[in-house]
């Protein structure tokens, strides 16, 4: 019976530590006793020498010469002196034995410490993973609560929104998507931690702990063998030649000889015997996902656009860890086969015999075997996670990664999402009836998208044999016209040439981001085609509304044809027409069927209809150009988005377009459209010829009157009053973000940081925040309201009346914050009317609720202008 099978419990481990302590105490007792015996033997040898010397002081008278008795006595005393020398030699050898026993005690203490540390190390990992599982579960619950709260909030805003549009609804959705992302990532971490804990616990119970105990038993038995040798030496140097001492010595030899290392711990092991450790159960808590419809599955990894990058990075880390384990194992095996194991010098030192060296060799091999088993366990644990992630990623197939947020909610009734007005909603309902052809929809949009013509990505038809499909039977020679599903609808007057560039198809939406696409697909069977850039590679994607939203990457064959799971086609248009007419699912797994094409919205312009003329500025996402529309010859301003930016940044770039498209006010810059057919993405706005307000102020500093400056303040207040009524927080109001037209009217611009809600809490840090224009509560707590814009408006007023000076000139951002928090406010610019400076100070009130709203600000400035005009 061995340690590895009988001493796995915690109680047995503690009993083994207690046994080791008792053995150490026994060694100390033995050492003191042998030291005392050596001392006694030395003292006895000294006394015996004295006796011999005393006995030799005999009378040397001539009368005793030749006496046999005297000779015998002298011989006796000589032998007595030799006996004293022998006792002294034995005592000195016993001191050497004591030194060996001291070294053995030190080595045994080190071995006990090494065992405790190794046991604690392998147990700590199991305990850590157990705690990690509990922590991940707690974190899961936390994110789940946040997800539920934001999901409820999104549903409420979704239902209450009158047109299912607006900046506020978009930002609620953004928060909801972030919560989904956090939840899904936590879900995967929870699944992986459970899987890893299962593997670690199994290896702890079946490999690591038994291996450690087996090694420890070998070490313990090694010490017993050395201990026995030391006792034999002690007994040897106490062996006397007298008969009674021989009998005593024989009994000692018999007792000491009966020591058998392999049987030493038999009684101890039997006394503390326990059953093998029961397996610990790690199981996914399914109550966490009871209220989540269909996205997250217990003990299953979730692969979607929120988690795929994390999973791929995790896979690389795990594969690297597996490779490291394999390399370490190979090096260890080569060392065992090619090198000589290093013996434990502290054990075989001090003149130990050959058996000690053999035992040390055995210990070294046992230790190497234990380390190799530990590496194999680590490799197996990591490989299990690698296989799990690979399996999850391989199941994606040709579908583009699904969205992690369930934007398409199953409510009591179907709602049309942001991006469609009532007229578009009615059109959607009418065209979703069975039998209506795809070209009918194109005809409906034919007069709207005259701007969508020009050059673009061109997918040419190749002269390759065409497969026999329902589509080819409808063609005459070439695929020229798209026939309706129902002959009763008659022939269509619009032809679809397969040689026409893909970008000219009105159901092709270019590089419109996936989040925008989801807004357009509302009914089962709605579809459109778009382009996505992933890892610097262009891919064409078919997006379909079918039990949610599904996205399929168009596969390219070796011959340059295009397909999904069915036959290949020479052009993407033919592929889409085939799927539409055949009414076959795009993939068997998805079951998605194409029923109605969704054409581009009126504000989706063609990139090639915009001619860039000259660069007039630079924004956060790219350059700003003066441009001209080919179709109308209208001069416009164009903001471009750098192609190298990630999708998240491009989504934020288009956010400004989504906000501006619903606003119409003379003091808000107007949106003309967005260009998403190809890179770069562009936002097209009205061209305000006066340029930046800040530049205008600095160039015309000598010619500006108080009346003009107050008029600029009134224009800005009018625009901000309009935004406040729309629950839009600008967050970056400053002279540099306002424009001036030729009539000196100010327009609010640059909505890249804007949020459509009454209160916005920053969740992604305070990077790129305009500190000197931002209200203290936003800087200190990340909390934005329209009253934060009021603070910024006060800074804007100061810029206008200082004619373009820099606020808090000479102060760093941090110094300005410190001064503001202590009550400092900028002094009035020269020649500023006292009423206007008082209004600035009100805008800079430390308590946000004490600041005026923009309606009040507008009325105050307007009244001051009216009074000034009347006085003249």
Q: Which residues are catalytic?
A: 732
Q: What is the 3-state secondary structure (H, E, C) of 242-308?
A: CHHHHHHHHHHHHHHHCCCHHHCCHHHHHHCCCCCCCCCCCCCCHHHHCCCCCCCCCCCCCCCCCCH
Helix (H, G, I), strand (E, B) or coil at 748: strand
Q: Residue 606 in contact with residue 677, Cβ under 8 Å? A: yes
Q: Residue 451 in contact with residue 610, Cβ under 8 Å? A: no
Burial 626-652 (b: 16+ CB within 10 A, else e): bbbbeeeeeebbbbbbeeebeeeebbb
DSSP state of 204: I
Q: Among the residues of 513-571, which ranges form H helices?
A: 514-520
Cα 779 from chain centroid? Answer: 27
State the residue for tokens 């092709």: 508
Token digits for 828? 């009035």
Listed in order, strand segments (DSSP E) in 390-525 are: none
Torsion of the alpha carbons at 526, 529, 534 and 537, rounded to the nearest 10: 160
Q: How far apart are CA 144 and CA 644, in angstroms?
A: 34
Q: How far apart are CA 528 and CA 691, in angstroms?
A: 38
Token digits for 305? 């656009």
Residues sharing a CB contact under 8 Å with residue 237, sequence separation 6 or more, in sequence order:
90, 91, 93, 94, 97
State the residue for tokens 């990992």: 125
Please calculate the CA angle 563-564-569 and round it to the nearest 5 degrees: 20
Distances (CA, A) of 258 to 229, 232, 255, 624, 679: 12, 11, 5, 97, 90
DSSP-assigned states of every residue in 103-126: HHHHHHHHHHHHHHHHHHHHHHHH
Q: How many residues does the chain have?
A: 872
Q: Residue 449 in contact with residue 506, Cβ under 8 Å? A: yes
Burial 796-819 (b: 16+ CB within 10 A, else e): bbbbbbbbbbebbeebeeeebbee
Q: How far apart are CA 343 and CA 789, in angstroms?
A: 76
Q: Hey, which residues does 597 pair with through a beta bridge?
A: 527
Burial 425-442 (b: 16+ CB within 10 A, else e): eebbeebbeeebbbbbbb
Helix (H, G, I), strand (E, B) or coil at 225: helix
Q: Residue 639 in contact with residue 622, Cβ under 8 Å? A: yes
Q: How far apart are CA 151 and CA 437, in angstroms?
A: 37
Burial 580-606 (b: 16+ CB within 10 A, else e): bbeebbbbeebebbbbbbbbbbebbbb
Residues sharing a CB contact under 8 Å with residue 562, sequence separation 6 or more, in sequence order:
459, 540, 554, 555, 556, 568, 569, 570, 571, 572, 575
Q: Residue 543 in contact with residue 549, Cβ under 8 Å? A: yes
Is 639 marked as binding a ligand?
yes
Strands 738-740 and 728-729, sheet pairing: unpaired
Q: Residue 498 in contact with residue 570, Cβ under 8 Å? A: yes
How would you class 293 by CB atoms within 10 Å of its CB: exposed for 0-12, middle for 13-18, buried for 19 or more?
A: exposed
Token digits for 308? 């795929």
Q: Residue 189 in contact with residue 137, Cβ under 8 Å? A: no
Peptide bond into 680 cis (omega under 30): yes
- Annotation: binding site: 639
- Annotation: binding site for ATP: 639
């Amino acid at each position: 019976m061995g340690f590895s099978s009988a001493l796995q419990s915690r109680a047995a481990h503690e009993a083994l530590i207690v046994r080791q302590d008792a053995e150490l105490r026994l060694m100390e007792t033995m050492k003191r006793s042998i030291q005392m015996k050596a001392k006694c033997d030395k003292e006895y040898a000294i006394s015996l020498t004295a006796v011999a010397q005393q006995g030799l002081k005999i009378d040397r008278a001539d009368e005793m010469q030749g006496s046999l008795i005297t000779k015998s006595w002298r011989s006796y005393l000589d032998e007595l002196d030799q006996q004293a020398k022998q006792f002294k030699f034995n005592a000195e050898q016993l001191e050497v034995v004591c030194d060996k026993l001291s070294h053995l005690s030190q080595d045994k203490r080190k071995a006990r410490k090494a065992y405790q540390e190794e046991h604690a190390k392998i147990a700590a990992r199991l305990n850590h993973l157990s705690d990690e599982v509990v922590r991940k579960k707690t974190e899961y619950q936390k994110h789940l609560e946040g997800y539920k709260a934001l999901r409820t909030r999104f549903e409420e805003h979704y239902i209450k929104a009158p047109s299912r549009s607006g900046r506020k609804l978009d930002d609620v959705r953004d928060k909801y998507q972030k919560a989904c992302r956090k939840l899904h990532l936590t879900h995967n971490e929870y699944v992986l931690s459970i899987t890893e804990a299962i593997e670690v616990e199994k290896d702890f119970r079946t490999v690591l702990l038994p291996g450690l105990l087996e090694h420890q038993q070998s070490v313990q038995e090694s010490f017993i063998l050395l201990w026995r040798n030391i006792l034999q030496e002690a007994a040897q140097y106490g062996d006397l030649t007298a008969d009674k001492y021989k009998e005593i010595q024989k009994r000692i030899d018999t007792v000491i000889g009966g020591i058998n290392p392999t049987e030493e711990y038999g009684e101890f092991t039997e006394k503390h015997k326990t059953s093998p450790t029961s397996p610990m159960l790690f199981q996914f808590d399914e109550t966490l996902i009871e209220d989540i419809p269909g996205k997250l599955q217990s003990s299953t990894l979730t692969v979607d656009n929120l988690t795929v990058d994390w999973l791929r990075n995790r896979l690389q880390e795990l594969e690297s860890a597996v490779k490291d384990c394999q390399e370490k194992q190979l090096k260890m095996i080569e060392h065992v086969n090619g090198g000589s194991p290093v013996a434990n010098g502290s054990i075989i030192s001090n003149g130990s015999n050959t058996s000690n060296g053999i035992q040390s060799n055995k210990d070294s091999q046992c230790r190497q075997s234990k380390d190799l088993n530990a590496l194999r366990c680590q490799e197996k644990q990591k490989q299990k996670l690698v296989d799990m992630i690979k399996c999850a990623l391989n199941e994606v197939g040709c579908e583009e990664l699904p969205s992690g947020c369930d934007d398409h909610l199953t409510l009591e009734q179907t709602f049309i999402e942001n991006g469609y007005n009532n007229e578009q909603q009615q059109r959607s309902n009418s065209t979703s009836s069975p039998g209506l052809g795809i070209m009918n929809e194109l005809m409906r949009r034919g007069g709207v998208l005259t701007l969508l013509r020009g050059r673009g990505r061109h997918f040419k038809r190749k002269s390759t044999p065409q497969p026999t499909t329902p589509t080819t039977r409808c063609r005459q020679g070439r695929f020229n016209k798209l026939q309706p599903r129902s002959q009763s609808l008659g022939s269509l007057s619009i032809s679809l040439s397969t040689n026409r560039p893909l970008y000219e198809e009105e159901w092709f939406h270019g590089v419109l981001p996936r989040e925008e696409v989801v807004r357009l697909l509302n009914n089962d069977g709605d579809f459109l085609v778009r382009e996505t850039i992933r890892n610097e590679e262009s891919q064409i994607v078919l997006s379909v509304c079918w039990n949610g939203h599904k996205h399929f990457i168009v596969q390219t064959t070796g011959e340059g044809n295009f397909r999904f799971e069915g036959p290949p086609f020479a052009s993407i248009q033919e592929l889409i027409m085939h799927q539409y007419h055949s009414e076959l699912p795009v993939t068997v797994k998805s079951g998605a069927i194409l029923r109605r094409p969704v054409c581009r919205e009126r504000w989706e312009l063609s990139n090639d209809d915009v001619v860039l003329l000259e660069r007039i500025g630079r924004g956060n996402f790219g350059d700003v150009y003066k441009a001209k529309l080919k179709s109308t010859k209208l001069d416009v301003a164009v903001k471009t988005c750098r192609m190298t930016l990630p999708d998240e940044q491009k989504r934020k770039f288009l956010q400004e377009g989504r906000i501006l498209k619903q606003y119409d006010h003379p003091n808000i810059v107007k949106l003309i459209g967005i260009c998403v057919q190809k890179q770069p993405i562009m936002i097209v706005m009205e061209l305000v010829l006066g340029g930046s307000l800040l530049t205008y102020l600095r160039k015309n500093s000598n010619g500006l009157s108080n009346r003009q400056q107050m008029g600029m303040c009134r224009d800005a207040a009018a625009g901000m009053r309009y935004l406040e009524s729309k629950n839009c927080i600008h967050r970056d109001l400053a002279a540099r973000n306002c424009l001036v037209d030729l009539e000196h009217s100010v327009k609010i611009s640059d909505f890249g940081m804007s949020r459509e809600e009454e209160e916005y809490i920053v969740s992604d840090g305070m990077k790129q925040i305009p500190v000197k224009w931002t209200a203290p509560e936003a800087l200190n707590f990340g909390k934005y309201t329209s009253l934060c814009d009021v603070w910024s408006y006060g800074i804007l007023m100061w810029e206008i009346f200082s004619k373009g000076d820099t606020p808090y000139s000479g102060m760093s951002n941090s110094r300005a914050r410190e001064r503001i928090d202590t009550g400092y406010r900028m002094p009035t610019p020269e020649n500023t009317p006292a009423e206007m400076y008082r209004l600035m100070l009100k805008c800079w009130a430390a308590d946000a609720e004490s600041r005026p709203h923009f309606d009040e600000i507008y009325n105050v400035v307007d009244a001051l202008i009216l009074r000034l005009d009347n006085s003249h």
